[in-house]
Structure 1
Amino acid sequence: MLSKTVLCLAMAGASAPLLADTVWLKNGDRLTGTIRVFDGGKLVLATDYGGNIALDWKKVATLESDQHLLIKQDDVTGEEAKALKPAEPGKVTLANGGAPKTIELASIEQIMKPKPLVEDLTWKGNIDAGLDYKRADTDTDDYDVDFKTKARHGRWRHTAEADYNREKQEQEVTTDNWSTDYALDRFLDEHWFWQGRAGYKRDKIEDLERQRTVGTGPGYQFWDNELGAFSLAGLVNRSDYEYANGEKESFYALGMKWDYNRYLVGKTVELFTSGEVGKPLEGVADYALDAEAGLRYKVTDWASLNLKAEKDIVSGTNDGDLDETRYSLGFGVGW
């Protein structure tokens, strides 16, 4: 027999706007909006009156949604529900077209939108800027600007990146370089894809002045959803090096690229890392590494603070090794 509380919830649900998700809290409050994701004990509800609101899962009594949502009760398996229906406090009913299934809210680990393989155009990206001015015994000016964007339409995905780094100490420029990279992925199924990429780096300070790279190879997308993404790509690259003394080197190399990001704490914190490690097929160098890792903290829906470390290594070349490490703290915008 349904309690009076459940009857009240059902009546309230009947009066809710169509296609609007509803969350009932244990204190009796009712919030409407669009469920974005549940992870790490936080349910993110997108509203037109307060933006994204992160709700404490322990305060939620039940919820309702007309969206197709993936409900995960452990880290591996998940069940796709065509809709969520309110139940008695502490529970929710999964509607899948057959017999409804009522489960405990406490048993749910994650809620997210299932992502189809073929979809309309999506575009996202971010720009991070770090500026550091130090006036002391040694004056230092440090600039770091990074840009990254991804666009996907159907089975095609485009990724473009660019960054600029400049550091000056006591009126002497000690770091001055910029780079660009473009990758085109063609998805073969939900996980496997084939990638072609091209990259260029220009350094005005180091002996290795120019690096050009083109490559191709298979990749695997482990996941790509509301909580983040992780992919690996194995590439055969053709690289061309130009040095400050005029010497040039061209060689083929095997490379491994990675791209990982994960949202935490109700999508307010993002952990990210990306880069590539490569091994030449000839003896021109031992190995090369270009990588970054960091954290972003979302201040608003579009603005964030970021902390990042970058590493650039080319080891074993005839004209000296390159080994640079940069740290930056700055402000960014995302879309």
Structure 2
Amino acid sequence: MRASLLHTLHFKTPAIFVGARLVMPVAIMADSGIIALATPPMYHFPLCKTVCRWRLMMNLSKSYEVRAALITLIFAATLLAGLPAMADELIMKDGSRLLGTVLKRDEGGTIDFKTSYAGVLKIKWTEVSELVADKPMTVLLENGETLKVMSARHTEKGMVTADEAGVIETLPMNEVAYVNPEPWRLGEGWSWTGNLNLDLNYERGNSDKDEYEGDFTTTFRRIDNRLKFYGDYDREKSNNELTDEDWRLNSRYDHFVNKKFYYGATMGLEHDRPADLSLRTIVGPLIGYEFYESKAMNLDVAVGPLYVYEDFYDEGNRDYVAFGWSFNFDRFLISDRVQFYHRHRGLLEIDDTENLVWDTWTGFRFPIYAGIVASTEVQVEYDGGANDDVDNTDTTYNFKLGYQW
């Protein structure tokens, strides 16, 4: 037995056997992982047998642990892949359910609900039974108070809400202004909207005629403040001679006392060469009322006293106090595809009621794609104080192409 063991160790591990005790080569050879293959006779030695079994069990144990971990990860990933992503749920009165994201509910009672398969859907709140959110929704009340809710049910008594803690509250529908309102309605930043339009006309043949028209409107809105700017320009040339040139630029500031009522100031500049008007300057305070303010519909009216200064090419200049007003209305008629608009502004001299000046813009906008819009418009300008050799009324029909944001 001893000779056989020494013979085996001598030939299998000559460097380890020299100067070492018997146990050391066995342990080292066991660590090398080749003891069972390199020295079959040693496996029958009790100590070697114990070490070999322990090492084999450890290796098998580690292998099983790794395999079990991999199987667990694969199984978990398969389960997670099969589960639907967390989303808001809209339950309709007819029992149908929609999964997506609640963007907002505006003042008109329409919910913008975004889905992965149909884009943004506009759904009437009156057709909704319950709304369950994946994350808290912000409800803005008419009095300016905000609530964080996880669900909202439509009942005869109003909107029944539940917050994250499960507290139930019933809100009359006339007290609910918005769900997930735009940040500016909560006092966070500004909203910037506007449009820019161009109309170019070139005629060549019996006569050469060039016409350039353009206008813009832009509004900066904050929770209590609003800035509005409007401008237009019209220039016509026939056979290289200037036949018409007029422009106007108007600015207005409004400060809201509450959601509807506001006061502010306005300033405007106007030029109309055919009407002999070099420059008309208008400035004054105003008060107004905002009936509607949303993407779907806007309506506001403002009035106030104005100071007017007019400088004419041939008639000198004059100034007077006038009563001024403005009316702005727009509404989408067919979803987001056709928008009707009407703007009107005027001023009436207090000491001479025949001196009446007003302008109107009435038309339709047709959103095309990515903010690009086409529009048809009728513009009517009336100046009761114009010179006798100039028509009081000027009517223009326009087709425009522009951009709206």
TM-score, structure 1 length as denominator? 0.72
Corresponding residue to 1:272 among 341, 366, 370 = 341
Residue aligning to 2:161: 96
Deviations 1:200-235 (A, max 9, x none): 012233312211100112111111123121110111
The 2-side partners of 1:251 and 1:271 are apart by 35
Corresponding residue to 1:256 among 304, 311, 325 = 325
Moved more, 187-196 or 172-181: 172-181
Residue aligning to 2:234: 165
Residue aligning to 2:403: 333
The 2-side partners of 1:30 and 1:142 are apart by 52
Seen in structure 2, the aligned counterparts of structure 1 residues 255 and 94 have a Cα distance that, compared at 3 Å, is same
The within-5 A match list for 1:112-151 is 116=185, 120-135=189-204, 137-151=206-220
The within-5 A match list for 1:22-171 is 22=89, 32-35=100-103, 45-46=113-114, 52=120, 67=137, 94-97=159-162, 98=168, 116=185, 120-135=189-204, 137-171=206-240
The 1-side partners of 2:329 and 2:315 are apart by 37
Deviations 1:97-146 (A, max 9, x none): 44789xxxxxxxxx986674855311111111122334455544332211
Q: Which has the higher strand share?
A: 1
Please state how far the C-alpha of 1:315 moved relative to its aligned partner. 0.7
| Runs of 5+ unmatched residues, structure 2 | 1-82, 141-146, 163-167, 172-177
Seen in structure 2, the aligned counterparts of structure 1 residues 224 and 54 have a Cα distance that, compared at 3 Å, is closer
The 2-side partners of 1:166 and 1:23 are apart by 53
Seen in structure 2, the aligned counterparts of structure 1 residues 265 and 43 have a Cα distance that, compared at 3 Å, is farther
The 1-side partners of 2:186 and 2:349 are apart by 34
- Residue type matched to 1:258 in 2? F
- Residue type matched to 1:96 in 2? T
Residue aligning to 1:323: 393
**Between the two proteins, what is the percent identity of the paired residues?**
22
Structure 2 residue 291 is matched with structure 1 residue 222: yes
Please state how far the C-alpha of 1:170 moved relative to its aligned partner. 4.1
Corresponding residue to 1:174 among 243, 248, 252 = 243
The 1-side partners of 2:254 and 2:106 are apart by 29
TM-score, structure 2 length as denominator? 0.61
Two-structure CA RMSD over aligned residues (Å): 4.1
The 2-side partners of 1:330 and 1:48 are apart by 34
- Residue type matched to 1:250 in 2? D
Aligned length: 301
